[in-house]
Amino acid sequence: MGKFINPFTDFGFHRIFGQEVHKELLIDFLNELLKGERHIIDITFQNPILQPETIEDRGVIFDIHCRDDKGGLFVVEMQNGAQPYFYDRGIYYLSRAISNQGEKGKDWKFGLCPVYGIFLLNYKMGINSKFRTDVILADRDTGRMFSDKIRQVYLELPWFTKEADDCETDFERWLYLLKHMDTLERMPFKARKAVFDKLLEVADVANLSKDERVLYDEALKRYRDYKNTIDYAEEKGLEKGLEKGIRIGEAKGKAEEQRLIAANFKKQGINIETIAQCTGLSAEEIEGL
């Protein structure tokens, strides 16, 4: 087991970002993520469970749900594996956080607080995806923001490949630590900023209580089992893909060989019907050689 906790486990993610006593970590991460856009002084953790509006509706359980000192709501999620319609789920989460602000039975005379969705993805969404996807409500023609009430940021962490010495900003240093924390023997960057020194204290496995260590070990086992299942599925999928590729390649090779034989026969003046019988190619194919 590494010296520091794995932040991709449920326990690790909530210990770093989901505790009132350590909230300066989440505040700093969000400020670095939204630098130049929003500055947070303080946050208050909200109930992560939004009850359904009717019996038929679904409830929503967030990883982290908090409100900043200006009234903005933040939904922070960690996702370890790809799921169908994940973008739709992100929109649904934020929509519920917005609709939950409505005052039932009253005229519409209230303003909405902006809702931010921060989604840390421990996988690539696809070949053409990218590290950071920023989503806003904007006019399609001008690109001008239409409303600031819904804001989404998706971070696909496998696309972030910088080493420690290459990190130029504190946000990049945060990302490096999240990606490599459970393999580090020492915490880099702690001399640069007090919050990284705090992270060292919070993430050190040696600082866990006996009960916390039991919970972390269970969460780590679930995470490893899940990753092993995904890795095995990907490996088997790759094997099947290679087998299929080999079969296709062999078929293409055989067809190409038949075309070469037919072309040589044709050069020798052998009639097309005979060539077709010998090679299995159609008369049209042979004519086109």
Q: Which residues pair with 285 in a beta bridge?
A: none
Residue 93, SS3 per DSSP = helix
Tokens standing for residue 157? 């962490």
Tens-place pLDDT, residues 218-271: 999 988 887 777 766 656 655 565 565 555 555 555 667 777 777 777 776 677
pTM of the model as a whole = 0.74
pLDDT in tens, 76-119: 999 888 777 888 888 988 988 888 887 666 666 667 899 999 99
The ranges assigned to domains in the chain are 10-207, 208-289
Mean pLDDT, rounded, of the chain: 83
Query: What totals of helices (H) and strands (E) does the chain contain, helices first?
Result: 8, 8
Residue 289: both structure tokens together? 């050689």
Q: List Cα–Cα distances, 61 to 48, 92, 146, 219, 241, in angstroms.
A: 6, 12, 29, 18, 37
Question: What residue type is 92 in one-letter code?
Answer: Y
Averaged over 184-193, what is the pLDDT? 82
- Using the Cα atoms of residue 186, residue 190, residue 196 and residue 198 in order, give the sign of their dihedral: positive
Does residue 36 have a pLDDT over 60? yes
Whole-number Å distance between alpha carbons of 248 and 113: 56
- Order of strands, sheet of 132-138, starting from the edge strand that comes earlier in the sequence: 43-45, 64-68, 73-79, 115-121, 145-156, 132-138
Q: What is the pLDDT of residue 246?
A: 52
Query: How far is 241 from 30, CA to CA, in rounded Å?
Result: 41
